[in-house]
Amino acid sequence: MTRFSKLGQYGIFLAFALICLVLALSTPKFFTVSNLLIIGNQVSINALLAFGVTFVIITGGIDLSLGSMVAVTGVAAASFAHPDTYPLVVPLLVGLGAGSAMGAFNGLVITKSKVPPFIVTLGTMTIGRGLALILSKGRPVSNLSDSFNFIGGGSVAGIPFPIIILLIAFAVCSIVLNKTILGRYMYAVGGNEPAARASGIRVSRVKMWVYTICGLLSALGGILLTSRITTGQPNAGAGFELDAIAAAIIGGTSTSGGTGTMTGTFIGALLIGVISNSLDLLNVTSYYQQVVMGVIIIGAVVLDGVGKKD
Amino acid sequence: MVAAFLLASCNQSSEKKGGAEGGGNKLVIGATMLSMQNEFIVNVSDAMEAKAKEMGVELITVDAERSALKQVEQVESFIGQGVDAIIMNPCEVEASSPAIKLAMDAKIPIINVNSETSSKPTAFVGSDDTESARIAMKYIVEKLGGKGNVLMMHGFMGQAAQIRRDNGAKEILKANPGIKLLAEQTGEWDRAKGMSLTENWIQSYGDKINAIFAQNDEMGMGAVKALEAAGLKGKVLVVSVDAIPDALQAVKKGTLDATVFQNAKEQGGKAIETAVKAARKEAFEKEVLIPFQLVTKGNVERF
Amino acid sequence: MSDYILRVKEISKSFSGVQALDNIHFDLKKGEVHALMGENGAGKSTFMKILIGLVSPDSGEVLLEGENLVGSNVHQTLKKGISMIHQEILIIPELTVAQNIFLGREREVSGKSGMLSGWLNDAGINQRAATLLDRMGVSIAPKTKMRHLSVAQMQMVEIAKAISNNAKVIIMDEPTSAISDKEVATLFQIIRDLQAQGVSIIYISHKMDEIFRISDTITVLRDGKYMGTRAARDLDHNALIAMMVGREIDQMFPEATRPVGQEILSVHNLGKAGKFSNISFNVKSGEILGLAGLMGAGRTEIARAIFGLDGWDEGEISIKKAPLRARTPREAIERGVGYVSEDRKGLGFIPRMSVKDNITLSSINSHRKGGFIDTHSEQSAAEKMIADLKIKTAGAGQHVTYLSGGNQQKVVIGKVLLASPEIIILDEPTRGVDVGAKFEIYKLIRSLADQGMAIIMISSELPEILGLSDRILVLSKGKQTALLSKAEATQELIMRHAVA
């Protein structure tokens, strides 16, 4: 595993460590176990979506429908999660199934129609938003069972459950990307699609997988969110896609496809979470938070570009 | 977002086939609502629908999706269709104002419901947001005995409701110097954001927090979740505004200490009544203020 | 001393530990055509990048009329008088000829000052461009949009642009790679005129004939080292090749060592509307079939059809008597077809992946353990192929982007070989590859055939076709015009059928 692109990743890692150091020095409340767990908790949803979109971006695509998929899957799962109705697996399967189906739909349209992913997922973003409102009749779906609420609110041995889900998802996504043939094919398709096809790779199949996985991870994020706020909100997740894409880009995934790592994306998501957490701790208004975030996104890409020059 | 523009032309969610040509001398009222993704607005809209049915008038409801521009265009198209009266639930104070002038010029009565515009409409039906925050903050002051630390969670900065609720709350705080505002920050009306913000506040202020005022129930519910997780709910007072069903449930359970009831049903009903009167050139009140009510565990059963 | 317009002294440059240039000297006289020769990877392109200010050397000097240019950027060296005509022509197709010539310098022509200098003066630009092209003896209307021009014409425009920049030194990188013989003659005439006006030309090409026709002086680089400078008249083909590769090439085309075997591929009445029709041939194990013809004769199209990249309308393609059905690259690979495209960058490799990942891309399924990749077996397969093909790389993990053209070609061949093909189609396998590497590729092709593979080789170079092929299929305008045996084939005969 000697990837040259890892070099750029170290830069992000260093930047992240540096920012953490500065924050730890500026407020004693930052570097405490409880605060770190809170950051992990807050980061989990965005990180899950970012993992999904990293797969997509590596193949040279994009998915703007993440946020809407969060809403649809959240509402769908919540509808089956009222106390004393169905066992826990039912809302989970409904949510994950809905997400995978929406992702597969994205993949199907993109591979069959040759319409750019940007446009297709822009469409499904709006469709998804509408579906969430239709399913919920425009009202939040609340009164959820305790077992369902445990997913986003419970903890095991002092560690919040979302963090456990996040770490498992990270491990699985890393393995898929680095150790499986599918992962190798993702890099190939994004790096040079015609050459991948000429190498015997079924490009459409790879893309179908990628968008489906992205939908599945969005569903996981949707279920986590719903469970965390104990309601399925039809307007939840608006703008989540941009945060997820930002995390991937900060982590060194190139929007032109062919490069990117899960570790990078994970750090990107952590960076975003750490910054918004610490600016709250320091009582900085959210206006500045947005400016800071924008500067970091651009800075990350600029750094990445500089690092890649010969 | 961009997608909203794409669908701009096809989201006329009218319940019935619109148009002035429909059925003899039946009155037609056009209504443009701030956002049908907002539960409270949906409640107002439902009340209008019910009232319209009861009074035998035809109601065409469209969703402005928080876009003032779209709202103005929708009012234009109502005027074009020749409706008898227009009800507008304004998106913005300034940017939705041109719609008022358009309707006035066309001599069609236009009624603002729930929130205001800078141009004066034919009539206003709603409640004064400043008052809701006053009520909530007064309750906090009273419960804390005039002494303690408060955190305030804002809605989207710059929106009329946020500005008014901010003004109302600050007014009460000014009158009670014993209450200290520890920090204020936006939770963007969102439950998950309110929850994250509260988690971070707990890290910063911990035991010092005596009360949290959230400018809407969604954020208030988020605050409650975070406090419960940190085992602080018993010690911190949480009060919010709107009285959505979830919040009422929470007040009943005792997790949310109080919310302020804004009467959606009354607002919707009165809006239709006023519009019908204005269209029929009958006498009507130029300003119908529906009072707020504080909801606590003691009176929650009534809501 | 004053004879020289450009003197380059002791230039060295290394990239991440690899010495690309080692103590290079280069002296350019005013008004001379100076050829720069060397195999791919010899350091020519790095050297050019240093001259134009794109890359900064680790040590040494670039003196243009005594002024050291090291540290100047591309824009500054251009202003000082060094222009480069790139191999891939850099133009904006939707702008006119005149607009392209003066791109970035519109202000010079605007003829106004102050606020008004921001306004375009298209009339002025057109007039100046017309004068310029006229002086070069080129008949191109300045108002023509670039996209309507031929490659040769675009090149003329690039040269005009260089002249309008008052270039003292013009670097031409493979200027004749995409133009016809007649256009080459025009280009050479323009070079002679420039020479007469005192402009110096640095000329890079792989085509030996051209080098001896046009250049006065030849400098040779090998493996990043300076091999010497000679007057062109003092050298001949063989001496030059010896300087470039470090040895004499006596036997370019190795002979077959085994007889042909059974039929592997048969193509029967193959046709595709507008591309080719009625194509029938077969290739046997151990045989090299040459596909000859002019550009556009349909050679690449037939190869793409066999490999499943494009479909076909009529006829049949069979591998070992069983027809292809799915018509996809995947099916072709599974049935034992390998394709090395002429378009290396487009269809060959994946630049951001490592040599190893590229080489095993088509055969990764044979290194699977469950759904996972068996990294050990993959690594050893890749390393064996790197050694077998003598691919020059810093390691299996090196990105393919960093390899020279010849080595990139070998990576693609390696990928094809690892999928265990029975028939390989090589489309212009030596295009853009220098003499030494060509010989290696010929040896490789013959040895593959000797191992029992069937080979189809498409080439525009007749010596290559004649030297290597066992049989030669000649195409003309999508029709098959001759199938010649090695014994009967001659250059004249092939050409006659190619234009039939």
Domain assignment of residue C239, given as a range: 4-245
Phi, psi for residue C126 in degrees, rounded to 5:
-60, -40
Place of tokens 């500026």: A26
| Strand B237-242 relative to strand B287-289, pairing | unpaired
DSSP result, C25-67: EEEEETT-EEEEE--TTSSHHHHHHHHTTSS--SEEEEEETTE
* Structural tokens at position C129: 């461009």
The alpha carbon dihedral of C46, C50, C55, C59 has a sign of: positive
From residue C195, alpha-carbon distances to C188, C189, C199, C201 in Å are 10, 10, 5, 8
Go through chain C and tell me how many residues it has.
500
* Cα first-last separation, chain C: 56
**Same structural domain, C283 and C240:** no
pLDDT at residue A6 is higher than 60:
no
Residues of A whose CB is below 8 A from B186: 285-286
Q: Which residues of B142-159 are buried (b: 16+ CB within 10 A; e: fewer)?
A: ebbeeebbbbbbbbeeeb
HSE toward the beta carbon, residue B28, CA cutoff 13 A: 20
Residues of A whose CB is below 8 A from C46: none
Question: Which are the contacts of A37, defined by CB distance < 8 A and separation ≥ 6?
Answer: A158, A159, A160, A163
**Same structural domain, C104 and C175:** yes
HSE toward the beta carbon, residue A305, CA cutoff 13 A: 8
Residues of C whose CB is below 8 A from A202: 328, 330
pLDDT digits (tens, 9 = 90+) for A109-163: 999 998 999 999 999 999 999 999 999 987 888 889 999 999 998 889 889 999 9
The answer to whether residue C250 is domain-embedded is: no
The answer to whether residue C257 is domain-embedded is: no
Which one of C245, C273, C304 terminates a domain?
A: C245
Q: Which residue did the predictor score with more confidence, B164 or C241?
A: B164
* Structural tokens at position B179: 């209450």
The answer to whether residue C253 is domain-embedded is: no
Q: Which of B204, B235, B236 has its CA nearest to residue B220?
A: B236
The answer to whether residue C49 is domain-embedded is: yes
- Among residues of chain B, what percentage have pLDDT more than 70? 92
Q: Walk me through the domains of chain B, giving residue ranges and CATH numbers.
A: 11-126+264-289 (3.40.50.2300), 129-261 (3.40.50.2300)
- Which among B4, B186, B203 is the nearest to A34, CB-wise? B203
Which one of C217, C245, C273 terminates a domain?
A: C245
pLDDT digits (tens, 9 = 90+) for C401-458: 888 777 888 999 999 999 999 999 999 888 777 667 778 888 899 999 999 999 999 9
pLDDT of residue A2: 37
The answer to whether residue C252 is domain-embedded is: no
Percent helix / strand / coil, chain B, rounded to 5: 45, 20, 35
Residues of C whose CB is below 8 A from A2: 354, 395, 397
Task: Report whether C416 contacts C338 (CB < 8 A).
Answer: yes
Task: Report whether C35 contacts C211 (CB < 8 A).
Answer: yes
The answer to whether the Cβ–Cβ distance between A29 and B203 falls below 8 Å is yes
Q: Which of C292, C285, C293 has its CA nearest to residue C256?
A: C285
* Structural tokens at position B263: 């009467």
**Same structural domain, C229 and C271:** no
pLDDT of residue A304: 65
Q: Which of C297, C330, C338 has its CA nearest to residue C426?
A: C338
The answer to whether the Cβ–Cβ distance between A195 and C15 falls below 8 Å is no
How far apart (Å, rounded) are the C-alpha atoms in residues A56 and A66?
11
pLDDT digits (tens, 9 = 90+) for A258-268: 999 999 999 99
**Same structural domain, C488 and C426:** yes
Q: What is the 3-state secondary structure (H, E, C) of chain A?
A: CCCCCHHHHHHHHHHHHHHHHHHHHHCCCCCCHHHHHHHHHHHHHHHHHHHHHHHHHHCCCCCCCHHHHHHHHHHHHHHCCCCCCCCCHHHHHHHHHHHHHHHHHHHHHHHHHCCCHHHHHHHHHHHHHHHHHHHHCCCCECCCCHHHHHHHHCEECCEEHHHHHHHHHHHHHHHHHHHEHHHHHHHHHHHCHHHHHHCCCCHHHHHHHHHHHHHHHHHHHHHHHHHHHCCECCCCCCCHHHHHHHHHHHCCCCCCCCCCCHHHHHHHHHHHHHHHHHHHHCCCCHHHHHHHHHHHHHHHHHHHHHHHCC
Strand partners, B125: B113, B288
**Same structural domain, C358 and C388:** yes
How far apart (Å, rounded) are the C-alpha atoms in residues C93 and C154?
10
B221 touches chain A (CB under 8 A): yes
Q: Which residue did the predictor score with more confidence, C115 or C374?
A: C374
Chains that touch A (3 or more CB pairs under 8 A): B, C
Angle at A196 between CA A190 and CA A198, to 5 degrees: 155
Edge-to-edge strand ranges of the sheet holding B258-261? B179-186, B148-154, B211-214, B237-242, B258-261, B293-296
Task: Report whether C87 contacts C40 (CB < 8 A).
Answer: no
**Same structural domain, C74 and C138:** yes
Mean pLDDT of C273-280: 93
Question: Which are the contacts of C479, defined by CB distance < 8 A and separation ≥ 6?
Answer: C276, C277, C278
Residues of C whose CB is below 8 A from A5: 352
Task: Report whether C346 contacts C316 (CB < 8 A).
Answer: no
**Within 10 Å of residue C87's Cβ, how many Cβ atoms?**
15
pLDDT of residue C245: 72
How far apart (Å, rounded) are the C-alpha atoms in residues A155 and A124?
34
**Same structural domain, C81 and C162:** yes
Go through chain B and tell me how many residues it has.
303
pLDDT of residue B131: 93
Pairs of residues, one from chain A and one from chain C, whose beta carbons lie less than 8 Å apart: 86
The answer to whether residue C258 is domain-embedded is: no
pLDDT digits (tens, 9 = 90+) for C14-35: 876 678 899 999 999 999 999 9
A305 touches chain B (CB under 8 A): no
**Same structural domain, C143 and C273:** no
pLDDT digits (tens, 9 = 90+) for A245-257: 999 999 989 888 9
The answer to whether residue C399 is domain-embedded is: yes
**Same structural domain, C213 and C268:** no
Residues of C whose CB is below 8 A from A3: 354, 397
The answer to whether residue C448 is domain-embedded is: yes
**Same structural domain, C314 and C387:** yes
pLDDT digits (tens, 9 = 90+) for A220-233: 999 999 998 888 98
Strand partners, B237: B211
Strand partners, B287: B124
pLDDT at residue A3 is higher than 50:
no
B10 touches chain A (CB under 8 A): no
How far apart (Å, rounded) are the C-alpha atoms in residues C440 and C458?
17
Q: Which of B40, B60, B38, B41 has its CA nearest to residue B49?
A: B60
Query: Residues of chain C whose C-beta is under 8 A from some C-beta in A?
Result: 15, 55, 307, 309, 328-330, 332-334, 339, 341, 346-354, 357, 361-362, 364-365, 368, 371-373, 375, 395, 397-399, 415, 419
Q: Would you call C222 helix, strand, or coil by DSSP?
A: strand
pLDDT digits (tens, 9 = 90+) for C293-314: 887 789 999 999 999 999 899 9
Interface test with B, best of A33, A133, A228 (most B CBs within 10 A): A228
pLDDT of residue C331: 94
Residues of A whose CB is below 8 A from B191: 229, 231, 233
pLDDT of residue B12: 42
pLDDT digits (tens, 9 = 90+) for C170-221: 999 888 877 777 788 888 998 999 999 899 999 998 778 889 999 999 999 9
**Same structural domain, C206 and C294:** no
Go through chain A and tell me how many residues it has.
310
Task: Report whether B192 contacts B222 (CB < 8 A).
Answer: yes
pLDDT of residue A4: 42
* Structural tokens at position B204: 């910063």
pLDDT of residue A34: 86
Which ipTM did the prediction report?
A: 0.82
Q: What is the mean pLDDT of chain A?
A: 89
Helix or strand (DSSP H, E) at B133: helix B129-144
pLDDT digits (tens, 9 = 90+) for C73-92: 888 898 899 999 887 667 78
pLDDT digits (tens, 9 = 90+) for B116-145: 888 899 999 998 889 999 999 999 999 999
Strand partners, C202: C34, C171
Instruction: Say if B and C touch: at least 3 Cβ pairs within 8 Å.
Output: no
Q: What CATH number does the domain containing C267 carry?
A: 3.40.50.300
- Among residues of chain A, what percentage have pLDDT more than 90? 64
- Which among C330, C350, C398 is the nearest to A200, CB-wise? C330
Chains that touch B (3 or more CB pairs under 8 A): A
pLDDT of residue C257: 79
**Same structural domain, C298 and C404:** yes
Strand partners, A92: none
DSSP result, C241-297: HHHHHSS-----SPPP-S---SEEEEEEEEEETTTEEEEEEEEETT-EEEEE--TTS
Question: Which are the contacts of B19, defined by CB distance < 8 A and separation ≥ 6?
Answer: B28, B81
Tens-binned pLDDT, residue by residue, of chain B (303 aa) = 344 444 444 444 443 444 444 445 789 999 999 988 778 888 899 999 999 999 999 999 999 888 888 899 899 999 988 999 999 999 888 888 889 999 999 999 999 999 888 889 999 999 888 999 999 999 999 999 999 999 999 998 877 789 999 999 999 999 999 999 999 999 988 999 999 999 999 999 989 999 999 999 999 999 999 999 899 988 999 999 988 888 999 999 999 999 999 888 999 999 999 999 999 999 999 999 999 999 999 999 888
How far apart (Å, rounded) are the C-alpha atoms in residues A216 and A240?
15
Q: What is the mean pLDDT of chain C?
A: 87
Domains: count for chain C? 2
From residue B256, alpha-carbon distances to B39, B121, B166, B230, C232 in Å are 19, 37, 20, 15, 94
Running DSSP on this structure, what letter comes out for residue C92? Answer: -
Chain B, window 38-57: residues with a beta carbon less than 8 angstroms from a chain A beta carbon: 38-39, 42
Which one of C181, C210, C245 terminates a domain?
A: C245
Going by pLDDT thresholds of 50, 70 and 90, the confidence category of residue C252 is low
Task: Report whether B140 contacts B150 (CB < 8 A).
Answer: yes
How far apart (Å, rounded) are the C-alpha atoms in residues C11 and C60?
4
How far apart (Å, rounded) are the C-alpha atoms in residues A47 and A57?
15
